[in-house]
Amino acid sequence: MLDGEQCHSRGKVIIRVQNQGLRGAAGDPHLILASSATLPLTYRENDLETIGRDLTEMQRVPLAQSHVAAMRNVGRVVSYAAGTFLVQPGDPADRFVYVEEGEIEVVNPFTQERFFPSTLGPTQFMAEIAFLSGGTWSMPMRAVRDTRALEVPRQEMLRLMSQIPEMSDIIITVLAARRRRQLEVRNSALVLIGEEIDRNVRRIAEFASRNHLPHSSYPLASPEATRIATSCAIPTDRPAVIFGRDRVVPDPTPDKIARLLGVNYDLADEEAFDVLIVGGGPAGVAAGVYAGAEGLSALVVEDTAIGGQAGTSSRIENYMGFPTGISGADLLWRGEVQAMKFGTRFVTPRRVTQLERLEGAQFCATFDSGQRVRAGAAVIATGVQYRRLPIDRLVEFEGAGAYYAATEAEARYCKNAEVIIIGGGNSAGQAAMFLSRAARHVRLLVRGTSLASSMSSYLSSRLEADPAITIEYNAEVVALHGAERLEAVTIRDARHGTNRTIPTCAVFIMVGAEPNTAWLAGLVELDRKGFILTGAAVRADSPFATSCPGIFAVGDVRAGSVKRVASSVGEGSVVISKVWEHLNG
Ligand SMILES: Cc1cc2nc3c(=O)[nH]c(=O)nc-3n(C[C@H](O)[C@H](O)[C@H](O)COP(=O)(O)OP(=O)(O)OC[C@H]3O[C@@H](n4cnc5c(N)ncnc54)[C@H](O)[C@@H]3O)c2cc1C
């Protein structure tokens, strides 16, 4: 592996990841026991690795005196009278708050009562993972008693964390565990009502769930939904998205929610970075980790959700280091946090629609929002996007019964239902295994006569052995039926030339994918199928260099790459040494 070795031998990779053992925050206010009925699927599968430690089992490790002394040099002491709110949901997470004296509680935004039984006391700190990315607070925090805190501005604190890895490890371990706990108990100022009937609300649920953004969701007319709607003075019979105490979000879109939560923000126009990374799948996130670790200023721009295709995989079993498997979304979230720790920034949902070469070896990227940023180099890690099928009314049912990914959100819609999956590849097989835990029955429709050539044998044997899964060969969906939502599909048996219609609320289309590179045409050379040509094919010296010096391609979008998580992570990691050479050469 040329690039990786060169990178290390030049001594430029400065990743310092320390194993902390069990530590954390007993008595942390995010510590609360949830009933297993409220837990999302991922967290009930306790054999899988997740995004962080279990806060309920962690022993608290306070920051050392030397850490506090370092903070004191750049922070200031602030006093809060009992009853004062330190932050409200949506406020910028622009400071790190270390409690010296007093007590701080998390507050329920709707009732204004204490949310968790436990509170933060002296030597504990008030911060959420959004602090790393410059996001916003998700819950109100209030001083229970007169409280004195040492407050450090975000940039100063990030600088200290990069200088003192032991301190960084204590903080990040706690922040990750707090986010895990927030997701488990679904506590947040973001509340969704009527996800089951409203497509817009469902889009928000999917966006939040795929990006690990805590939220709670209640069916329309449920007691909780009615109580919250009444407290916000809105009709109890309409779907709604609510943020904070009474902020009803009109015409909700993932973009609006991302702005409220601080995961999408306007950069300064024409803001300049060393490297622009397009795509937040395994290749792009890995590039973000290594770019940050090499001291490059990097921006990762992601169109849908950090995680890419891997983020839609419920169980990755072949990625080294996770012998019991890990969900793709959790793996990528860990990478995102790691990259943020090194200073790499992320914006989502944002799509890069144009890339231009400027005078002086610079590039200018334009986003779908019209925003423009500049960079000295660009790494294209845009992977592949799912393929649609030519079935009538498919577009009408997309998001309302027709899906292209099987994540926790979709699994909730399929609870105890008959589900259909179209496709004979590994993605379809993994989706069948995952959905069979929630659905009553899963029917896998395969156009060919066997799975032998399209699916890994370990997976096809598991499918065959699972009584909740039926595999139908020579089968294809030819029609979709329903009014507002999908209600039934017609399946054609190609061998006998017969059609039959069966009721179902969900059909998953998993029939492969293609690169979406039309926006790069004319700038870099593509192969016949639209994959980006690199290395020898364009007479370049690096395997990841494209025909345009300064633009690199990694992962699934690169012609000839191995389409796997590990290879995408590897390519995203090692390409950074070539980016560094380009910028400094
Ligand atoms: C369901 C499923 C299960 C899988 N299971 C496994 C497995 O178990 N093991 C394994 O090794 N591999 C697995 N794979 C394959 C693996 O996930 C992919 O090979 C890997 O994700 C490719 O990574 P990537 O970063 O190159 O691209 P992707 O993961 O495709 O990520 C590309 C990202 O770029 C974004 N993007 C695209 N265009 C733009 C733009 N113009 N602007 C901004 N963002 C953009 C996309 O939204 C996407 O998030 C699975 C794939 C699927 C779909």
**Rounded distance, CA 446 to CA 423, Å?**
5
* CA of 211 relative to ligand 1 center, distance in Å: 14
CA distances 152 to 175, 263, 409, Å, are 16, 21, 37
CA distances 338 to 25, 67, 300, Å, are 20, 20, 13
* CA of 459 relative to ligand 1 center, distance in Å: 20
Q: Do domains 266-384+515-584 and 394-513 have the same CATH topology?
A: yes
3-class state of residue 229 by DSSP: helix
* CA of 528 relative to ligand 1 center, distance in Å: 21
Identify the weakest region by mean pLDDT among 42-51, 217-226, 328-337, 442-451: 42-51
The full set of domain ranges for the chain reads: 36-185, 190-261, 266-384+515-584, 394-513
Identify the weakest region by mean pLDDT among 187-196, 338-347, 366-375: 187-196
Ligand 1 is surrounded, with C-beta below 6 A, by 278-284, 301-304, 308-310, 312-313, 316, 318, 351-352, 381-384, 426-427, 430, 516, 555-556, 563-566, 568
Percent of the chain clearing pLDDT 70 (strictly above): 92
CA distances 7 to 2, 220, 261, 277, 580, Å, are 8, 55, 36, 19, 10
Q: What is the homologous superfamily of the domain 36-185 according to CATH?
A: Jelly Rolls (2.60.120.10)
The CATH classification of domain 190-261, taken from the options 3.30.1490, 3.30.70, 3.40.30, 3.30.1330? 3.40.30
**Which of these, 399, 418, 380, lies nearest to 526 by C-alpha position?**
380
* CATH code for the structural domain at 266-384+515-584: 3.50.50.60
Which has the higher per-residue pLDDT, 213 or 571?
571
pLDDT category, 88, cuts 50, 70, 90?
very high
pLDDT category, 47, cuts 50, 70, 90?
low
Q: What is the pLDDT of residue 7?
A: 31
**Rounded distance, CA 218 to CA 193, Å?**
5
**Which of these, 580, 573, 1, lies nearest to 290 by C-alpha position?**
573
Rounded to the nearest 10°, the torsion over CA 426, 432, 438, 442 is 170
**Which of these, 564, 565, 566, 543, lies nearest to 553 by C-alpha position?**
543
User: Do strands 352-358 and 488-493 pair parallel, antiparallel, or not at all (unpaired)?
Assistant: unpaired
**Average pLDDT value for residue range 91-118:** 92
* CATH code for the structural domain at 394-513: 3.50.50.60
3-class state of residue 177 by DSSP: helix
Q: What is the pLDDT of residue 48?
A: 64
Q: What is the pLDDT of residue 168?
A: 94
Q: What is the pLDDT of residue 27?
A: 52
Mutate to test the pocket of ligand 1, among 211, 301, 382 (most ligand atoms within 8 A of CB): 382
**Which of these, 326, 330, 308, lies nearest to 317 by C-alpha position?**
326
**Total-model pTM:** 0.83
3-class state of residue 252 by DSSP: coil
Q: Whose CA is nearest to atom 8 of ligand 1?
A: 316
3-class state of residue 445 by DSSP: strand
